Structure 1
């Protein structure tokens, strides 16, 4: 695929005008000068010294602090870099050790912790709640207990913790005026002889001010934070976040164990959020964001790559507005919201609002309650080359206010496009839940596509100027204006929902295998009803292997066109061409592995060559 300059930059090392290099070591002192021989002890001591162009190198150890950069860099080439020393294990954690446990009964122990231990924030008294949050059966707090880096699950009542442990160990906390009593199950363990910690900090790496731009964070383990629910109407805190800034690079980190969000590119804080969800209020939120600098010059342009993000109870990567003009690539996101502690409309491996000209590509997203949810103003967005499977929303029956069905890889909600979904492997029970229009689905391997238009029809949502954030108008969510081109559909799958649509459709070059059916709007669909590709994913040693069968005859029984901007045309509502973020034309002339496609008659699905047998699909 021909890419724009903003995408191309992610393929090379981010250059930096080099200034001073400060060093940090657990054996250092904040009274030192920060040199290699006389390092600082805390990362914040170095942060308070660093200026544009400087590098902060952190050495082996566990750092129990929140890093809140007081300033950023000046440009993409003159940034402030925070990095783990090469080959060294550096952990920044939001938790603190707890000792002095006494046995209660069975596998249950308790610790009495003075409230002063938590400073000004006690997560065990912090109830998870907010706009579009849904948890009628239980209450959940942001506090967590960790045994040897594995978190325990919060129980709904003390009596459940006092029983013998079954399955996942439980904890329950009682917050009093002076002390917090934590009751926890440690089956087969003496917690006084193990590493037991509780979280005490909301965030691990997060500026307290907006517009702290051009920061690089590289090579850390960032863990055990206690942020609250992150809807698009409030400040979206996470283990690590940009807090309404521009030009961050977050790469090669392990981000794990968040009560809610793992990584945030999201919204600033104000006094208007959590006043009860309403779409009228959400429109006002957009207006306020525009007044707060949501534009191409000031916000977004982040690069998030090569991270592993796991064990977050709400979302892996979240971003309302602040993720615009960004690149999210080559991340491994898994085990998000799988504990089913609560529900809501912000639960996914990736959840974005206003992902304008954002590229989400080459990521591996699996075992999440939902894979990806792109909501409102998904305009100019490209979702390409991703591997998604075993994202099972069915586990909880309902995700917030939305019936989850068989599990979703991609949920598109009330967008007007243009949005490109190309070269993806989408193997969860429901590949796409489409409550939007203006999307082109091109060269994917897909299961079920479920459109939902009637329910969402009355909702009027904004569309924007091309490649910008200024609102042009609002439009309802009627059916149609989607394109399905050169995909392979596998069972169970049907496009019969698209037999009748309000807006015109484009469908051609698709292959429907055993157990899948085309729409009547595709007059020359290729039905191979006796052929079963039988796709399966096996994970071995951190790699993903796809077993798949393809029929080489698909290339001769149907002639396909190379997909280009000219072929896709314009999304009807915004009257914007399907093109790259810099306005250059699209050509889907490479496949999932970035191998060249045939120009005259490309093979359907994500692979240009017919795939038979076992293929390593991650890492590529």
Structure 2
């Protein structure tokens, strides 16, 4: 059955094309498996809360914008009755009943792994013609806000400049009492009653209240202005849109922006732990995160009940924490062809758990063909990166591109372009890095004080725990460019399982034997340019440290190009096509590199979808050649 929603409709109507509903929520209260809700043009200021679930991939409930029509769902309300106070400052007094039981101007940005900057922040916001303001903590700062010009990256300790000068101009401050909320804002000479001015009111735009609302499709909307809370892996993780601990959602072809924290959530819910580190303060967050995995497993966390979401062809920008976030609920999902930018660059608040894509336990999750730029961090995968594939993504102009943390594999990183100042932070083991083009700094670290879970292959069942010893990585057919780039970090590692075991058993003992010997690494057929350095025991490679390939990504908006100039000798090196059969199995997890269904993985198509020949050129594009290359990549 089809239900229709239009701005000319009525919720007392029948929801037909001739007699449409007025709100999407009315349709969401009656749509059941197999139904489609078609929404016509207009701005819908509501939090859509689907009531019923689909029953299978073929019996979904689909919500979609009418063909060729612009449909916007906003968590904000327009405010027109601003009153001048002094200078460029105006105020409005709104009743707290506008917010219900969730007042964003009283709710603080709070939770585990949050590092606040200078002062507390709240989940409210003010928008002038869709431009968000900055919060200040006192009324007098409305006239003279304190500008923050830089912050420190919590992992690298590098300085991150504050990019957005609006902090010193467009600011707001709120006072909340029992009955009213007073919002003050500096509009810099603009009359807010003559412009589009909106304030955050709702936590989410499209998010079920109950868990287990499976098989929902949301397609073709613009969604914005949600007062989403901080979303660490040890808490409930609501987003502007998300399935709320369900299975089989498809979120596609949407424009999503201005979530206070996270835009799309495919993460955990509160019953498995909710900010206990910050509330109870009796254990580290690491311990509570361990507990959340086992709590979820006891409550039925498995492929049969959770995950298997598809997030594709969305444009996501201007969010304070993440474009896509998830812990546990992201299993067996696919995230592809999304354009993500301007994530966590406003920096009103700061902490860990910030990235364009930040997933914990992305078991068998496939992340491919995404374009991610101008973010604090591009992709950050953390804990239980097993069966995960990060493939054919383009990352550039981020503070950091790719961060992989405390996991044991097997995971694959193939055919990506990483071109930010800081390209790869490898704090994991058991990875396969194949046919990538890496033009930013790289680092590698062991973690010997946090043991994390690994699983039976293609399953959520925990098989064991391990520390992150580092190594057990495979680097084949990559191009490395620049200083502090390359595989030299592994110079004191073994090169085969046989060599590793021989050294381990030179002494008698147990745990201490394995702690003292570096795990094997498998490194071959890589190219190193412009200061990049190889692993000292790599036998087949190309090294031209003094050669500058003039590598860049040229972003022209709707289209983008890779520019790179390769030396004459580039035509003399090639690499084999890698697959399950060529990649040594992962030592600790004792598992193969496979597709999620257990079939053989074969890396025989490049970033652009072209088939590779038996002996193929290095890097992510099969027709790279010596001399100048200027190739369209989106």
Does 2:466 correspond to 1:485?
no
CA distance in 1, matches of 2:21, 2:70: 17
Residue 108 of structure 1, aligned match among 89, 93, 105: 89
Q: Which residue of 1 aligns with 2:533?
A: 517
- Conserved? CA contact 1:448–1:494, under 8 Å: no
Residue 619 of structure 2, aligned match among 600, 605, 608: 605
Deviations 1:570-611 (A, max 9, x none): 111111101111111121111110101111x21000011125
Residue 53 of structure 1, aligned match among 28, 34, 39: 34
RMSD, aligned α-carbons = 1.5
Residue 442 of structure 2, aligned match among 445, 450, 474: 450
Does 2:510 correspond to 1:530?
no
Q: Which residue of 1 aligns with 2:195?
A: 194
After superposing the two structures, state which structure 1 stretch, 170-179 or 609-618, moved more.
609-618
Q: Which residue of 2 aligns with 1:216?
A: 217
Does 2:254 correspond to 1:262?
no
Matched position secondary structure for 1:160: helix
Deviations 1:529-574 (A, max 9, x none): 2321212223223332222222353231x34222111111211111
The CA deviation at 1:167 is 4.8
CA distance in 1, matches of 2:288, 2:333: 26
Matched position secondary structure for 1:549: strand
CA distance in 1, matches of 2:324, 2:445: 27
Matched position secondary structure for 1:412: strand
- Conserved? CA contact 1:564–1:588, under 8 Å: yes
- Conserved? CA contact 1:449–1:495, under 8 Å: no
Does 2:494 correspond to 1:503?
no
Q: Which residue of 1 aligns with 2:508?
A: none
CA distance in 1, matches of 2:541, 2:92: 65
Q: Which residue of 2 aligns with 1:579?
A: 594
Gaps of 5+ in 1: 1-19, 393-407
Pick closer, same or farther for the CA change 1:552–1:30 going to 2, 3 Å.
farther
- How many corresponding residue pairs? 581
Matched position secondary structure for 2:4: strand
| TM-score calculated relative to the size of structure 1 | 0.91
Deviations 1:88-142 (A, max 9, x none): 0000110001122122223221112222222221101100010111115221111
Alignment map for 1:122-521 (pairs within 5 Å): 122-163=103-144, 167-270=168-271, 272-276=273-277, 277-392=284-399, 408-448=400-440, 450-454=442-446, 456-492=447-483, 493-501=485-493, 502-521=518-537
- Conserved? CA contact 2:13–2:21, under 8 Å: yes
Deviations 1:208-234 (A, max 9, x none): 111100000000011100011111112
| TM-score calculated relative to the size of structure 2 | 0.89
Matched position secondary structure for 1:548: strand
Deviations 1:213-263 (A, max 9, x none): 000000001110001111111211010011011111100001100110000
- Conserved? CA contact 1:490–1:513, under 8 Å: yes
Q: Which residue of 2 aligns with 1:16?
A: none
CA distance in 1, matches of 2:139, 2:383: 41
Gaps of 5+ in 2: 146-165, 278-283, 494-517
**Structure 1: which 4+ aligned runs deviate by more than 4 Å?**
164-168
- Conserved? CA contact 1:434–1:449, under 8 Å: no
Q: Which residue of 1 aligns with 2:499?
A: none
Matched position secondary structure for 1:238: coil
- Conserved? CA contact 1:320–1:352, under 8 Å: yes
CA distance in 1, matches of 2:105, 2:324: 24
- Conserved? CA contact 1:552–1:610, under 8 Å: no
CA distance in 2, matches of 1:56, 1:280: 43
After superposing the two structures, state which structure 1 stretch, 558-567 or 319-328, moved more.
558-567
The CA deviation at 1:518 is 0.6
After superposing the two structures, state which structure 1 stretch, 136-145 or 62-71, moved more.
136-145
The CA deviation at 1:449 is 5.3
After superposing the two structures, state which structure 1 stretch, 380-389 or 230-239, moved more.
230-239
CA distance in 2, matches of 1:580, 1:60: 41
